[in-house]
Structure 1
Amino acid sequence: MADLYRKNLESERRQLWATCRLKGLKRDTSERLRIAEIDRLLAEHEAKKQQPPVERGEG
């Protein structure tokens, strides 16, 4: 199954990064801050995905 949340974040990150490179934007711009936020969200999402499933006892 496709992970659409991750794909959307990565797509937005690539687009922002291309804009920053094209315009030569510095680190403290809103675009660069959003890239950092997207990196954090991707890391959190990946960490959630790699957690082992919780086993439930029947009862």
Structure 2
Amino acid sequence: MNEERQRIRKWIAEIEQRIQAAEVGSAERQWAGDDLARAYGELEECDRRRQANDT
């Protein structure tokens, strides 16, 4: 679980860099925003699974 969480956190950091590098309003920035939403969703799912395993 922890390795998965670290992988997702690394992915989020990479996406945030893409967003900063992209021009405002560009397609790349939109795609990166979509990827960021997906990454945070995976992180939440990872946390839910971890919580379920702890109970």
Q: Deviations over 1:2-54 (max 9, x none)?
A: 7111111110111110120122444x7111101100101100110110121xx
TM-score norm. by structure 2 comes to 0.74
In terms of fraction of residues, the more helix-rich structure is 2
Query: Does the C-alpha gap of structure 1 residues 25 and 9 become closer, same or farther in structure 2, counting only changes over 3 Å?
Result: farther
Larger Rg: 1
Higher relative contact order (CA 8 A, sep 6+): 2
Q: Structure 2: which 5+ residue stretches go unaligned? A: none
Following TM superposition, the consecutive aligned residue runs of length 4 or more in structure 1 with deviations greater than 6 angstroms are none
Q: Structure 1: which 5+ residue stretches go unaligned? A: 53-59
TM-score norm. by structure 1 comes to 0.70
Structure 1 counterpart of 2:34: 33
Distance in structure 2 (CA, Å) of the matches to 1:25 and 1:11: 23
Give the length in aligned residue pairs: 51
Structure 2 counterpart of 1:15: 14
